[in-house]
Amino acid sequence: MAALRVLVGVKRVIDFAVKVRVAPGGAAVQTQGVKHSLNPFCEIALEEAVRLREAGAAAEVVVATLGTKASQETLRTALAMGADRAVLAELAEGAAAGPREVAVALAALARRLQPQLVLLGKQAIDDDCNQTGQILAAILDWPQGTFASRVSLEPGAVQVQREVDGGLETLRLRLPAVLTADLRLNEPRYATLPNIMKAKKKPLEVVPAADLGVPAGPPRLRLLQLQEPPPRAGGEKVESVESLLGKLRHAGRI
Amino acid sequence: MANSLRSEVIKLYKNLLYLGREYPKGADYFRRRLKAAFLKNKDETDPEKIKQLIARGEFVIKELEALYFLRKYRAMKKRYYSDDKP
């Protein structure tokens, strides 16, 4: 297989270890001064692409994202993890994007770059939409393999093991195809300091999102309200077995 | 003294310092421990011994990377796969 190109879509999200707080008003979460990083599922997708290249099955790994200027840092991390070059579809500061907007941008990039494989994380840990890969496959009219837990390339096709309810499903998709990565696909490597230094020299192209056909204005998905989960009710110490049984009975547990 | 090793030691220190920024107990805690560990061996002159110590540092790097990966993996598993019974 010659010159197989892999496009990996990634997203910049609030770091998984950060406690997310809803901003006053309930219309957004606090992002100011909060640590951001590459979405863990995107890391898995990227790792898979890099492994395909290292195994000689793919020729080039291009990583792309739709986001504001801050997303450049995320793309650098992706380059440090082994992508060859990056494309940022740049949104104006403060603009938001939903799965549809991301899919439109990635579809335009896919038409431009002609990848044989598009790899995405199955969902982002911030909005948990789990839609981008599916919408992208629909726009491009390509076969899709979602929740992939094993990927193997064949000439002109890709075999995907999918995690479905109560088991695994194996599909054979003709290329080009869209795949979304599940948690068990692989173990992403760490972006080490020397690799981050090297990544600074890798090419990063910035394209205005409007040039890729991303519609201006607010995203089609409208966010109505955000709420923090209810705080955990504290435990209680009991004096004796009898009072424990009494309390459990009162709570309807026994 | 072997000057080629000097740059390797500095590189190791920088890499560890970078990794320590995400340490669960805090970057400060890690930095203090890291510095103490390097200072403890600052008078080492035997090149063989220094190479051994560098190898140990590289082992610690591998351990830290594994620690961070597992931490992330567990968090994801807990959040998204809570009903799973192995």
ipTM of the complex: 0.82
Q: Please give the backbone phi and psi of residue A170, each rounded to the nearest 5 degrees, phi first.
A: -110, 125
CA distance A31 to A35: 8
The 3 state secondary structure assigned to B46-79 is CHHHHHHHHHHHHHHHHHHHHHHHHHHHHHHHHH
Judge whether A8 and A185 are in contact, CB under 8 Å.
no
Q: Mean pLDDT, to the nearest integer, of A96-100? A: 87
Q: Given a cut of 70, is residue A95 above it in pLDDT?
A: yes
- Alpha carbon distance B34, A172 (integer Å): 50
Q: Is residue A236 part of a domain?
A: no
- As a whole number, mean pLDDT of residues B21-41 equals 91
The predicted structure's pLDDT at residue A85: 93
CB contact under 8 A, A190 and B69: yes
Here the contacts of B1-7 (C-beta below 8 Å, separation 24 or greater) are B1/B45, B2/B47, B2/B50, B5/B47, B5/B50, B5/B51, B5/B54
Beta carbons within 8 Å of A80's beta carbon, 6+ residues apart: A191, A192, A195, A196, A198, A199
Mean pLDDT of chain A, nearest integer: 90
User: What is the spatial distance between Cα A131 and Cα A126, in angstroms, rounded to a whole number?
Assistant: 13
Q: Where are the alpha helices (DSSP H) in A171-252?
A: 193-199, 241-250
Quick check: B2 and B44 in contact, CB under 8 A? no
Q: What is the mean pLDDT of residues B29-57?
A: 91
Q: Tell me, yes or no, if B59 comes closer than 8 A to chain A by beta carbon.
A: no
> Which pLDDT does position A2 carry in this prediction?
54
- pLDDT at position A150 over 80: yes
Residues A152-174 pLDDT 10s: 998 889 999 999 888 899 999 99
Please judge whether B15 and A188 are an interchain contact, meaning their C-beta atoms are less than 8 angstroms apart. Answer: no
**Alpha helices (H) in chain A, listed in sequence order:** 40-54, 71-80, 99-113, 132-140, 193-199, 241-250
Q: Domain of A143: which CATH number?
A: 3.40.50.620
Cβ-contact A21, A131 below 8 angstroms: no
What contacts A42, CB < 8 A, 6 or more positions away?
A8, A9, A10, A11, A78, A120, A121, A124
pLDDT the model gives residue A1:
47
Q: Residue A253 falls within a domain, yes or no?
A: no
B61 vs A contacts (CB less than 8 Å)? 192
Structure confidence at residue A49 as a pLDDT band (50, 70, 90):
very high
Best of A18, A43, A130, A190 to disrupt the B interface (most B CBs within 10 Å) is A190
Contact of A216 with chain B, judged by CB distance below 8 Å, is answered with no
Is residue A93 included in any domain, yes or no? yes
Query: Across the interface, do A40 and B72 touch by the CB < 8 Å criterion?
Result: yes
pLDDT(A25) > 70: yes
Mean pLDDT of A109-113: 93
Measured CA distances, A95 to A68, A87, A92, B2 (Å): 8, 18, 6, 55
Please determine, for residue A127, whether its predicted confidence score (pLDDT) is greater than 90.
no
Whether A17 sits inside 8 A of B76 (CB atoms) is no
* DSSP 8-state class, residue B22: G
What pLDDT, on the 0 to 100 scale, is given for residue B86?
Answer: 47
Once rounded to an integer, what is the mean pLDDT over residues A27-44?
90
Q: What is d(CA A34, CA A14) in angstroms, rounded to the nearest whole number?
A: 7
| % of chain A with per-residue pLDDT over 70 | 99
- Domain assignment of residue A155, yes or no: yes
Chain A contact for B79, CB < 8 A?
yes
Count CB-CB contacts under 10 A for residue B17: 15
Number of neighbouring beta carbons within 10 Å of residue A117? 27
**Mean predicted confidence (pLDDT) in B11-37:** 91
Instruction: Tell me, yes or no, whether A121 lies in a domain.
Output: yes
- Distances in Å between the Cα of A196 and the Cα atoms of A66, A75, A216 are 21, 11, 34
The backbone torsions φ and ψ at residue A162, rounded to the nearest 5 degrees and listed phi first, read -110, 145
User: Which residues form the domain of A41?
Assistant: 4-228
pLDDT of residue B2: 54
With a cut of 70, say whether residue B71 has pLDDT above it.
yes
Specify the pTM: 0.87
Rounded Cα distance, B8 and A116, in Å: 41
**Cα separation, A153 vs A227, whole angstroms:** 43
- pLDDT tens track for A72-83: 999 999 999 999
pLDDT 10s digits, A170-205: 999 998 999 999 999 999 999 989 999 999 999 999
Q: Any idea what DSSP says for residue A92?
A: P
How many domains does the structure of chain A reveal? 1
What integer pLDDT is reported at residue A159 of this predicted model? 94
More confident residue, B72 or B86: B72
- Residue A70: inside a domain: yes
A41 part of a folded domain: yes
Angle at A97 between CA A35 and CA A13, to 5 degrees: 20
Contact B18 A193 (CB under 8 A): yes
